DNA sequence: CGGCTTTGACCAGCGC
DNA sequence: GCGCTGGTCAAAGCCG
């Protein structure tokens, strides 16, 4: 995995018997779910505290949060959270967080668009500079909480019930595997994620997603279609707790 | 024709 | 200030 992830929490392993075959016969199971911390982002505990609720991650993916109390990620003000104490438990947990402009993906975008528009309209470099200068006056870009999880899979882009459009691909430093950038194409869905394959263990896919879902919009968000081999809830049970009978 | 991927270019943040 | 890197844009092309 890329060096940006510093600390491992849990490690989620998932096998697809036949991903290529529509995943119809695939099976999913979890092994040590490993969580990791993005070095440039806030600690996991911080993430939780910074977030309003335990369901943050659920929201992050636009999934309807469970009504049951999230078990979870309790404790830990620091970089790591104590969940790592129970890694053997299947469905034990998920990954970490990071920060980046809190909820400003769109604002950044529009900012950028405006910037570009300006430069196009003016048709000169000067306008670009102006835009830049203008931007300098604006408040510093904040960070959106992000989190990531590792999945053992043969396919890079895991089916999670959402529609994604790939909007970019970059070579990853120190890794032969590129990183692909996706955005959710569902209306009102502003989630973005990037997916890369671990160069240390090529069988592992690292997915990192932002957390820009507006809680108020949550209800309006689409309900995920059940993919062939399970939802993120299955992959990240700590954040997607199973309903107790 | 619409939706998607590919890919080079651009931009901002960060470290030195 | 400069270079590097991650993230995004958008044109071009592909595909159903």
A109 touches strand B (CB under 7 A): no
Per-residue confidence in pLDDT tens, chain A, 245 aa: 433 333 333 333 333 333 333 333 333 323 333 333 333 333 333 333 333 333 333 444 443 333 333 223 322 332 323 222 323 333 333 344 433 333 344 434 343 444 344 433 443 333 333 333 333 334 445 555 667 777 777 776 666 677 888 999 998 888 888 899 998 887 777 788 888 888 778 888 888 876 544 433 433 333 333 333 333 434 433 333 333 33
For residue A41, give both structure tokens: 């982002």
Nearest nt (C1') from A40 Cα: B14
A146 CA to C7 C1' distance (Å): 14
Residue A194: beta bridge partners? A181, A208
Residue A196: beta bridge partners? A179, A206
A38-55 b/e with 16+ CB inside 10 Å = b? beebbbbbbbbeebeebb
A40 touches strand C (CB under 7 A): no
For residue A190, give both structure tokens: 């502003």
* Bases of chain B with protein Cβ within 7 A: 3-9, 11-15
Q: Which chain A residues 165-224 have CB under 7 A to strand B? A: 165-170, 180, 185
pTM summary value? 0.54
Inter-CA distances, A98 with A22, A31, A40, Å: 33, 23, 7
Distance, first Cα to last Cα, chain A = 38
A242 touches strand B (CB under 7 A): no
Inter-CA distances, A114 with A106, A118, A144, A183, A185, Å: 12, 6, 21, 20, 22
């Amino acid at each position: 995995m890329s060096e940006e992830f510093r600390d491992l929490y849990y490690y989620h392993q998932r096998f697809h018997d036949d991903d290529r075959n529509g995943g119809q016969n695939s099976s999913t199971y979890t092994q040590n779910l490993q969580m990791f911390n993005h070095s440039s982002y806030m600690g996991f505990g911080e993430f939780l505290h910074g977030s309003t609720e335990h369901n943050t991650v659920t929201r992050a993916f636009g999934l309807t949060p469970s009504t049951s109390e999230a078990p979870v990620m309790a404790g830990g003000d620091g970089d790591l959270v104590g969940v790592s104490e129970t890694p053997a438990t299947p469905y034990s947990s998920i990954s970490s967080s990071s920060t980046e402009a809190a909820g400003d993906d769109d604002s950044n975008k529009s900012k950028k668009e405006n910037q570009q528009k300006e430069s196009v309209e003016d048709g000169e470099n000067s306008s670009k500079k102006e835009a830049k200068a203008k931007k300098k006056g604006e408040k510093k870009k904040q960070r959106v909480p992000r989190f990531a999880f590792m999945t053992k899979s043969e396919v890079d882009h895991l089916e999670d019930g959402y529609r994604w459009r790939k909007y970019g691909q970059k070579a990853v430093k120190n890794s032969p595997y590129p990183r692909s950038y996706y955005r959710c194409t569902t209306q009102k869905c502003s989630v973005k994620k990037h997916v890369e394959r671990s160069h240390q263990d090529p069988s592992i896919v690292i997915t990192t997603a932002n957390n820009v879902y507006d809680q108020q919009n949550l209800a309006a968000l689409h309900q995920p279609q059940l993919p062939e081999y399970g939802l993120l809830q299955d992959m990240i049970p700590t954040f997607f707790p199973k309903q107790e009978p």
